[in-house]
Structures are given as structure tokens and as C-alpha cells.
Amino acid sequence: MLGCDGGSGMRVRYKLTLVTGLLECLCFAGVVFGWASLVFVLKTDGYFSDLCVTVTEGNGTEITDCSAQDEQFSLIFTVASFMNNFLTLPNGFLFDHFGTMATRFLGIFLYTTGTLLVALSSKALSLLFFPALSCIAVGGILFLLTNIQVGNLFDTHRSTIITLYNGAFDSSSTVFLIIKVLYEKGISLRSSFLFLSAFDVIHLLRTLFLMPKSYIPYPVPENYRYGVSCGKSNSYSVEENEAKQELKNMSDKPEQDGESEPLKSDDPEPTEKDSSFRSCVISWFFLWHLIWLSVMQLRHYLFIGTLNPMLNRLAKQDPVTVSQYTNAFAFTQLSGILCAPWNGLLMDRHKGKALKPGETEKEADLRSSILSLFLTSLQCLLFSICATIPFLPLQYITFVLQVLNRSFLYGGNAAFISIAFPAQHFGKLYGLVMSLSAVVSLLQYPCLALVKVLGGDPFYVNVSLTILTLLAFVHPLNIFLHCRRLASQRESTQSVCAGSSNREASL
């Protein structure tokens, strides 16, 4: 069968895994971030319409105030986005300890439950959207988590594939736009979500035939096989494989004088002792990476959660204009899959080039990540500035910057964790950083309350968040200084060795 007939068969299987994983992330994983499109449909169907009240203005004109309805929709997204990230920690432990198959089974169950709950919802059962959207969000992030490892199959393009998958995750928010367009053509919300539920059969087949039972090691061992059709899967233990690789690297290194001391730095993995999960968590790398992700993610979540009321305010409650800008936002999300690989190419640009004398592959990877992290921070700053300016046509540029930044943010997050920390802790560290950033993202609800106190004008909140995003620039600066220290220490060591050699030669 395919994948069991030698190296060429496995190469075909690798490519099938890559392509089907990309389609899975593109069509299912991050659909919740197209929430603004779905809100438009839900409002039309009258979800939470009982919260709208008639208000008489000072001139005697009666208007319908639906701010409480908007607040309820924002709360649904706040809860779902929090669950999407916070539950990544236990899911990361599940992935590291029980492997891909068990994790994907959980993801399929949650995703099916969420889509069926939406199909069963109605105006009278609007509250079903709280568990439904959360289940879809968590199931989707599990699809992404288990697919990120596919980058390990393609060594020289590893970061590019990881960022490509994250870009597909971002672009999947367009699915809710498609549902909105189909709704306007007469296809009900229930039919669309029953259709999404039926696709879970495809996820199940892919889990059995195109994914490993445990996980894909890095680097991939020779003759590595996976999938149930191969009989006994050659799914090596990541810890065992890394131990073998470390022994190989040590045996390949020439003996040194023994006078040079081991480097003490921010590097979370300099020695076997320091490669524990705890040492990774308490490193400066992890702390600043967490801050880098959290401040930018909070900015994005608040923007998405308040997009519909913001457009209503700037468009003076014109539903045609709001629909036009909502569609424009959703269409720009589709370009996430085109933006994300550029970030991966930035991080993989050193692959195939000779390392500097004494430089390790990991150090080269870290050095190449500096530009990516800096550009991501700069994009978020520009996006936040544009989102702060209350000028409706400018929001087209905001939409473009937002999808570009989201693509770089989540792709860079996964790629950096895979570069800076041991592979056996990837699931746990990825889950922990997402969970802690989810706690920070809960600040969006007090921000929404503050906007309400300010009469619905988010200007001062947006200015505060723009200033907060400046913290993100510390992370690339920290890595730059770390790499420069390592380079200086290498040069000093080489100078000492060269001096010793010259003295020995003169003697």
C-alpha cells in the first residue's frame, strides 16, 4: 500500500500529508476569527434581538438601541477566543504524552459538537452559541497543533511550512464569509453547519492514514514511516531520537582544550540538564516571547470582537455600508495563507548556507528569527495606529495590516518555539504560551466596559493599546543581544585558541 513500498512511496505520503493538512487548516481550523461575518447573519436572524430596546432621543425621535446585543456577541467571541488559547495548555500536554491520534480524536469530537450545536440553535436558543463557538475554536486549534509537526518532514523548509499552516489557519476565517454569502442566496445557517459537521469524516480518515499515532520527530530518522497502512509505525520517541542526535553531534565535534567555560546565557537549551521543561519556562526567551504574543494578540482580539459595532458607528448605522466593509474584511482574511510563508522564508533564509566558524545550527536559527520578530512587532504597531484613527475608508488599510500581522504573529510564534526550545516540550510550551496569553486576552472585556463608559468611543482605549504594543519590540532586541553575546564569546574563544597554537608553534 502507499507509504509501505519504499522511499518513493513515503515521499508521496509526505506530500499528501502536507497538502491535506494545509486544506484542513484552510477550511476548518480558524473559522471562529471570521466572527464578524457570522454576527451579520445572526443579527438578521434575530439572535439576542430581545436585548434591543427603543430609546427616545432629546428631539423626540425614537431609535432602536442594540448595544446590549452587540455586547452579547462580543462576549461570545471573548469566551471562545479565551477557550481557544487557554485550553491549548492541557491539549499540549495531551499531545506530548498521548500523541497525535488521541489529540486529533478529541479535536474531531469538539468540532463536531460545536457545529451541531450551531445547527440546533435558533433565536430562542441563542445561548447555545456560547458552548458552540468555544467547541469550534478549541477543535480548530487542535487541528493546527497536530499539523504544525508536518514541517519536520521537510527539513530545509521547516519554518516556511509551519508559517504556511498558520497562514491557512488565519485564512480559514473566510469560511464564515462564505456562509454569510450563501445565507444571502437562501441557504440557511443550519444547512451550512450540518455540511461542516459531515466533513469530520475526512478528518477521521486523515487521522488514520496520513498522520502518525505518536508524533513526527525532528530531524526525521531514515526510513521513517507512519499511518495505519504501514503496519507497525516507525514513530520514534522524540526524546530518544534527540538523545541519539546529541550523541552524534558530540562524537562529530573535535576535542577542545577544556579551558573554555560553557556559555551561560538566555539560551534555554545549552546543556542536557538545562533542557527540562521548567528551565524553558523560567528563561528570558519564554518570558519575552509570552509578552510579545500577548500584547499583539490582545490588540487583534479586541479589534475583531468590536469590528461590527465600530463599523456601525463609523457608517452611521447604514447596513449596506456595514455589509460592504464586513465582506472586505473577510476577503482580506483569505490572503493570510499568502502572507504567512514570507515569514517562514525569512526564518529559513540561512538554510543551505555554511555556518560561521563555531556557530551551531540553533544559533543560526535564532539569528534568522530576529528580523521576523521585529517586522511582526512593527506591523502590529502600524495596524493599531490605523485602527485608532476613526476614518472609515482607512479601515481598508487596517484590514490588510491586520491579516498580514496575524499571519506573521501566529506563524512566528510556533516557529520560534520550535527553534528555541527542545522538541519534546513543544506541545507543552506552545500550550502554555497560548494559555497564558489567553489570560491576558481577557483584558478585552474590561476594555469593552471602558469603551461603554466612554459613550461607545474606543479612541482612548485604542491609543492605550497602541502604546502597549511597543513592549513587543523588546523580544527581538533581547534575541539580538543574546546572539551578539554568543558571537563575541566565540570570537574570544577562537582568539585564545589561536594564541595558544601560536605559542606552541614558537616553542
**pLDDT tens readout for residues 151-170:** 888 877 887 888 888 888 87
**For residues 492, 496, 501 and 507, what is the CA-based torsion angle, rounded to 10 degrees?**
150
Distance CA 353, CA 301 (A): 39
**pLDDT tens readout for residues 458-471:** 889 999 999 999 99
399-423 mean pLDDT: 87
Percent of the chain exceeding pLDDT 90 equals 31
Q: Is the pLDDT confidence value at 288 over 70?
A: yes
Higher pLDDT, 336 or 397: 397
Q: Is the pLDDT confidence value at 251 over 60?
A: no
Average confidence score pLDDT of the chain: 82
- The predicted structure's pLDDT at residue 254: 44
- The predicted structure's pLDDT at residue 6: 55
Domain 31-219+278-497 adopts which CATH fold?
Growth Hormone; Chain: A; (1.20.1250)
Q: Is the pLDDT confidence value at 110 over 90?
A: yes
Domain segments of the chain: what residues? Answer: 31-219+278-497
Is the CA virtual torsion 267, 272, 274, 277 positive or negative? positive
Highest mean pLDDT among 5-9, 122-126, 393-397: 393-397
**pLDDT tens readout for residues 169-221:** 878 888 998 999 999 899 999 999 999 999 889 999 999 998 998 878 877 88
The H or E element spanning position 414 is helix 395-420
- The predicted structure's pLDDT at residue 174: 85
Distance CA 426, CA 15 (A): 23
Higher pLDDT, 34 or 62: 34
Distance CA 477, CA 350 (A): 20
- The predicted structure's pLDDT at residue 500: 65
Give the helix ranges, DSSP H, for 254-306.
277-281, 284-305
Angle, CA 334 vertex, CA 158 and CA 295 arms, to 5°: 70
